[in-house]
Structure 1
Amino acid sequence: MIGFKKRDTKDLLKTIARTHGISVAEVREEMQATIDEARNSPDPEKQAEFKKYFGNSTPTPEEFIYIMTKKLNRKL
């Protein structure tokens, strides 16, 4: 498994921001909007998948990255 810690998510957000020439706040806003859109999807299958990973809560961008990275690493 690839070593990935929660603090690594902040570095990743900084790298994304630098790469795209935007602020970390803008990266977080875009990611949060996408997370909210996925959570509130009218598609029952997408809702079930989201709930499987995050329950009834809405993750922050950092939580989303960390949790999904852990899930993907388990599959490798």
Structure 2
Amino acid sequence: MIRYTKRDSKKILKQVARLRGISVSEIREELEIAIEEARNNPAPDTETEFYRLFGNKTPTPEEFLCIATNNFRP
């Protein structure tokens, strides 16, 4: 099983920024908004899963990518 690290997450952010033609900071801002929306989602399943993965803290975009990809179940 492949394990992603924070270093891998930073590489992913750079690749996505390059593909979309925007800066890494813009990608981080978009991810921060998406993370907040996921964290504040009122659906019980989503709330439970977010808490299971991240506890009470809001992850950075790098932490989110690293933890989410390592816990992805197709």
Q: TM-score w.r.t. structure 2 length?
A: 0.89
- Percent of aligned pairs with the same residue? 53
SS at match of 2:58: coil
Q: Which deviates further from its counterpart, 28-37 or 41-50?
A: 41-50
The aligned residue for residue 12 of structure 1 is 12
The aligned residue for residue 21 of structure 1 is 21
Distance 2:35 2:69 in 1: 15
Tell me the matched-pair count.
Answer: 74
Runs of 5+ in structure 2 lacking a partner?
A: none
Q: TM-score w.r.t. structure 1 length?
A: 0.87
Superposed, which structure 2 residues align to 1:1-76 within 5 Å? 1-72=1-72, 75=73
Distance 2:44 2:68 in 1: 20
Runs of 5+ in structure 1 lacking a partner?
A: none
Distance 1:15 1:26 in 2: 13
Distance 1:4 1:40 in 2: 25
Cα displacement (A) at 1:2: 1.5
Amino acid in the other structure paired with 2:43: D
Pair 1:43–1:4, CA change in 2 (3 A): closer
Distance 2:67 2:42 in 1: 23
CA RMSD of aligned residues (A): 1.5
